[in-house]
């Protein structure tokens, strides 16, 4: 049988590793990553998170060491989550100038002044009920929580934070925080908004890490329905209009369609959060020998970039940075 007169041959550009590298459309570097750090006021040695192998809560005394390690690997920033010694109904530890995150901010900046220190700005780690704001009955009061978010963001700014990252999905949170920061003299502090955050089953292990499991119910009344796509665009545009400097989609793995749509619809830098459940699944499968951990992680991270991510918050960040260094060498 004869072949067609003309065969289009895309394989020509896949023939050698060098050619493939020359025409590669998407690349990864350590500078694409932000490393999450859990700082626990109640411990004096690292405490491994059982559901997240390789991730530990650390004491305040180790924040400088971890920040320097991140910097030495070429990762530009960390995002801090604090576990306080005491919690209350409104999460007042979040705006205590001597709180655990405020102390961690100062320690991180002292150890590595050029590292970008981001503070997750929410209350689930600080409330004794595990929800993200002030409760009236079993409902989170949006506007009372906004007032507390303003105090929390200002306190982080006073501590020397580089960026605040509100994650509670309260209506109007970006406008409230932007106005408060500006009024307090912190006009140059950017805001990364967790603009599109779904009520996801992928968050499970994080709640072990951050000690933030709700004492009742769930967060579906303020986080988004995983079924919704148009709502994601609405939420993103609201935050653009309110003054967000960067947007985030969380989780990442099951929402790459949303990452691409939000990226195409807006003109702000896009962060994605490769969340704890995504991390734990890879670790568990790798431990069983079912997958090649390095290959799967790098492929997943590359997919986030291809979908539109400019920054990736990931517990894999240290490993990825090391693997990239090894591959260069």
* pLDDT higher than threshold 70 for residue 218: no
* pLDDT higher than threshold 70 for residue 210: no
Nearest to 49 by CA among 83, 79, 100: 83
Annotated binding site for Mg(2+): 235
282-300 pLDDT, tens digit each: 999 999 999 999 999 999 9
For the question of residue 250 being annotated catalytic, the response is: yes
300-325 pLDDT, tens digit each: 999 999 999 999 999 999 999 999 99
The mean pLDDT value for 20-45 works out to 95
| φ and ψ of 181, to 5 deg | -60, -45
By the 8 A CB rule, do 240 and 213 touch? Answer: no
Neighbouring CB atoms inside 10 A of 242's CB total: 18
Annotated binding site for Zn(2+): 122, 124, 132
Catalytic member of 197, 263, 283, 305: 197
Cα gap 25→4, rounded to integer Å:
30
Annotated binding site: 122, 124, 132, 207, 219, 235, 276, 315
Catalytic member of 109, 250, 283, 305: 250
CATH fold for the domain made of 26-327: TIM Barrel (3.20.20)
Annotated binding site for 5-aminolevulinate: 207, 219, 276, 315
Give the tokens for residue 273.
């959060």
Q: How confident is the model at residue 205 (pLDDT cuts 50, 70, 90)?
A: confident
* pLDDT higher than threshold 80 for residue 267: yes
Q: What is the pLDDT of residue 215?
A: 56
- Alpha helices, DSSP H, located in 57-166: 63-72, 100-111, 142-159
Cα gap 215→33, rounded to integer Å:
32
Looking at the chain, the whole-number percentage of residues with pLDDT higher than 90 is: 76
Domain ranges of the chain: 26-327
146: left (phi over 0), alpha (psi -120 to 50) or beta: alpha
* pLDDT higher than threshold 50 for residue 201: yes
Q: How confident is the model at residue 137 (pLDDT cuts 50, 70, 90)?
A: confident
For residue 135, say if its preceding peptide bond is cis, omega within 30 degrees of 0.
Answer: no
pTM, two decimals, is 0.93
60-118 pLDDT, tens digit each: 999 999 999 999 999 999 999 999 998 888 888 899 999 999 999 999 999 999 999 99
Residue for token pair 């003109």: 267
Tell me which of 51-60, 135-144, 210-219, 245-254 is least confident: 210-219
């Amino acid at each position: 049988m004869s072949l067609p007169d003309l065969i289009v041959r895309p394989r020509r550009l896949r023939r050698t590793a060098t050619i493939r590298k020359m025409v590669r459309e998407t690349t990864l570097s350590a500078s694409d990553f932000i490393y999450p750090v859990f700082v626990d006021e109640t411990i004096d040695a690292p405490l491994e998170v059982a559901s997240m192998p390789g991730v530990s809560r650390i004491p305040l005394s180790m924040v400088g060491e971890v920040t320097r390690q991140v910097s030495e690997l070429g990762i530009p920033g960390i995002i801090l989550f604090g576990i306080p010694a005491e919690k209350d109904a409104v999460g007042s530890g979040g705006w205590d100038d001597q709180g655990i995150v405020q102390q961690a901010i100062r320690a991180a900046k002292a150890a590595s002044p050029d590292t970008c220190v981001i503070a997750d700005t929410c209350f689930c780690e600080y409330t004794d009920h595990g929800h993200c704001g002030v409760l009236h009955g079993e409902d989170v009061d949006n506007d009372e929580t906004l007032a507390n978010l303003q105090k929390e963001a200002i306190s982080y700014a006073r501590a020397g934070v580089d960026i605040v990252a509100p994650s509670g999905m309260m209506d109007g949170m970006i406008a409230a925080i932007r106005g408060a920061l500006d009024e307090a003299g912190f006009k140059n502090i950017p805001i990364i908004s967790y603009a599109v955050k779904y009520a996801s089953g992928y968050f499970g292990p994080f709640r072990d890490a951050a000690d933030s499991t709700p004492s009742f119910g769930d967060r579906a009344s303020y986080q988004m329905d995983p079924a919704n796509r148009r709502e994601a665009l609405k939420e993103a545009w609201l935050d653009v209009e309110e003054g967000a400097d960067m947007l985030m989609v969380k989780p990442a793995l099951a929402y790459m369609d949303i990452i691409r749509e939000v990226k195409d619809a807006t003109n702000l830098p896009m962060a994605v959060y490769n969340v704890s459940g995504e991390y734990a699944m890879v670790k568990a499968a790798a431990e069983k020998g079912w997958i090649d951990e390095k290959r799967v992680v790098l492929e997943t991270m590359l997919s986030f970039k291809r979908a539109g991510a400019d920054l990736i918050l990931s517990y894999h960040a240290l490993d990825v940075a090391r693997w990239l260094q090894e591959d260069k060498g």
